[in-house]
Amino acid sequence: MTSLSYLTLDKDVRQLRATDFDDFGRQISGGVQSAADKGYDEARKVWNATVDRRPAMIARCLTDADVQAAVRFAAAHHILLSVRGGGHHIAGNAVAEGGLMIDLSGMKAITIDAARRRARVGGGALLVDVDRAAHAHGLATPLGINSTTGVAGLTLGGGFGWLTRQHGLAIDNLLGATVVTADGVVRSLSATSQPDLFWALRGGGGNFGVVTSFEFRLHPVGPEVYAGLVVYPFAQARSVLRAWRDFCATASDALSVWSVMRQAPPLPFLPEAVHGSMVVILPLLYSGSVADGERAAAPVATFGDPIAVALGPTPYAGFQTAFDPLLTPGAHNYWKSNNFSSLGDAALDVFIDAAARLPGPQCEIFIAQLGGAMARVDVQATAFAARDARFIMNVHGRWSDARDDDGVRTWARQVFEQAAPHATGSGYVNFLTEDEAERVAASYGVNHARLQSIKQRFDPANLFRMNLNIEPRVRP
């Protein structure tokens, strides 16, 4: 059966008998909600306010058995199924319109084994949960830069942040996972237990099952690290970004310096006169000792004439929340993203020209510096194929008034198109929007065909398709 024919089989949930609902409700320990229930509207909300979908049922799963029951119910009744981890994905795939949403927000348990440097993390945990629990032992694993993001979605798509250049992607530190596959079976995966499926999980998004727990390798980090921001006026963007790009080429793996062009937020260390003016922000973190970090990061304040240098020792878990105020849920968001193996002057000029046309005060263009340990992993070692992405650019279109919808989307698409000739052609599935399904195959590159075969084996009916979908290989 192809995924296309399966799509046409989705049953209108209203066709189900009341007894089916009741039986199902009794199987889920956290209960099953529908539109009439208290808390339903809160439970269906995701980070991107543009997404406003109404599932027929929300299964509040608390155990592996709950997830099994929900997967079997959706498969048996041909109901459109979605899985909500942290609800952060820009495309809103966590929520199935008219279908069944598995809500994992009740599965956040974290266990730290400090002696073995391992973390066991529930499938609904947020970054803040892991960062804080590990930080208490002076340990951390590479995750993202916004603490309210879900560990599950971030990890399943690859997962990069401040520690990636030193310790790799989140998936490079994933040692095992427990997953409920489309047949409703609970499987323990690792490099030696069902290695094909474990390979696919590491980058393949939510395509292969519902992960109920992850096991990560931890590294000594901090507890204090050298981190912060250097802020330059936008008028110096050209020389500052060229100096930043050149500096990145030889920077130590322990140091990550990103760049952001946006209007200056009202940060306490910025003069009031600067608030709202265009700036180039270089946020950075050094994951080794504070003294080494101070030395390694010093040149970043010499790329021009900075407005502010706010660098110093800071608790690692604290810095992991530093950007939360700029990334709060509830705004409308539309992103476009490109991967780059290098940044020539012409590419930088595209970003600078686009930033000069920023369509709103919450919009920004950010470029993450990658490479280092992430780039040293073989492209076929995990499903994540963009190992050559030394920089990932993300055009953050963000707005509050629905009337700005078209203007921001058009601007974001234009930046993407203009930057594309300088980019690698692959994408990062965690940043792709709902209208970018055609970029999935290129994003998986040499790994796409193997992913399709594994999908065919474990999810031939494409039950898990509310994601950047890898379709099962259609047999001739």
- Neighbouring residues of 288: CB distance < 8 A, sequence distance ≥ 6: 166, 252, 254
Q: 76-115 mask for ligand FAD (x: CB under 6 A)?
A: ------xxxxxxxx---xx---------x-----------
Looking at the chain, the number of H-run helices and the number of E-run strands are 15, 19
Least distance (Å) between residue 333 CB and ligand FAD: 7
Instruction: Looking at residues 112 to 131 of the shown chain, list those that interact with ligand FAD (rule: CB under 6 A).
Output: 123
Least Å from the CB of residue 287 to ligand FAD: 15
- Which residue in this structure is represented by tokens 């696919």? 200
Nearest CA to 151 out of 131, 172, 178 is that of 131
Cα–Cα distance measured from residue 142 to residue 183, given in angstroms and rounded to the nearest whole number: 31
Residues shown for the chain: 476
Which residues lie below 8 Å from residue 2, measured CB to CB, with a gap of 6+? 471, 472, 474
Binding mask 192-231 for ligand FAD (x = CB under 6 A): -------------xx---xx--------------------
The answer to the question of residue 144 lying near ligand FAD (CB under 6 A) is: yes
Find the shortest distance in angstroms from Cβ 161 to ligand FAD.
5
Residues in 418-447 that interact with ligand FAD by CB under 6 A: 430
CA angle 247, 248, 249 (to 5 degrees): 90
Q: Apex CA 147: angle with CA 146 and CA 149, to 5°?
A: 75
Would you count residue 466 as binding ligand FAD (CB under 6 A)? Answer: yes
Stretch that binds ligand FAD, among 151-159, 183-191, 216-224, 248-256 (CB under 6 A): 151-159
Site string for ligand FAD, 37-76 (x = CB under 6 A): ---------xx-----------------------------
Sequential DSSP letters for 329-345: TTSEEEEEEEEES---H
Task: Considering only residues 323 through 342, tell me which ones interact with ligand FAD, judged by CB under 6 A.
Answer: 327
Which ranges of 114-210 would DSSP assign to H, the alpha helix?
Answer: 127-135, 151-157, 164-167, 195-201
Supply the minimum distance, in Å, between the C-beta of residue 28 and ligand FAD. Answer: 16
CB of 302 to ligand FAD, least distance (A): 27
Nearer to ligand FAD, 284 or 309 (CB): 284
Kindly state the number of chain residues that form the binding site for ligand FAD, as judged by CB under 6 A: 35
- Beta-bridge partner residues of 338: 393
CB contact set of 436 (below 8 Å; sequence gap of 6+): 427, 468
Q: Build a one-symbol-per-residue string for 152-181: x at contacts with ligand FAD by CB under 6 A, - elsewhere.
A: xxx-xx-xxx--------------------
Q: Angle of helix 345-356 relative to helix 237-250, nearest 10 degrees?
A: 140
**Positions that interact with ligand FAD (CB under 6 A):** 46-47, 82-89, 93-94, 104, 123, 144-146, 149-150, 152-154, 156-157, 159-161, 205-206, 210-211, 327, 430, 466-467
